Amino acid sequence: MAASLPPTLEKIVQRFQRRPDPKQRYQQLLWYANKLDAMDEAAKTPENRVHGCVSQVYITADFDGEKITYHGDSDAQLVKGLVALLIEGLNDLTPTEILAVEPDFIERMGLNVSLTPSRANGFYNIFQTMKKKAMGFQLATAPSEV
């Protein structure tokens, strides 16, 4: 039994599940890529680069004290689509909500069979980078124990 996902991410998973054809999944990813807001070039720094991706991928996160807002970009359209769907699925959640998301949703979407192994691995690395940023915010706001 898969853990429950945040509502927006669950909708995205269902959208991909309704597209059994890998070509349709690619078209869906390209649709997400085209929807992604442009990322400020100044944010494309080594600290924001996602490691373990063949493409250039950047992720930033802003925290308003309660919810996280991610921004990202990639130089590859398909990967940009992966970035965009993760941003849409995880934006406006608390660090705790983001950290509770397990990567098994990637298999549920069917993308693990549609993507090349290096892209599937990159997708996982992007997701882990977003979780790492959420963890940083959670640690920074956690009350210190005396």
Give the residue numbers annotated as catalytic, written as ranges.
53
CB 68 within 8 A of CB 61: yes
Distance separating alpha carbons of residues 18 and 29, to the nearest angstrom: 14
List the one residue out of 23, 1, 8 whose CA is nearest residue 110.
Answer: 23
Distance separating alpha carbons of residues 73 and 117, to the nearest angstrom: 20
Distance separating alpha carbons of residues 41 and 70, to the nearest angstrom: 15
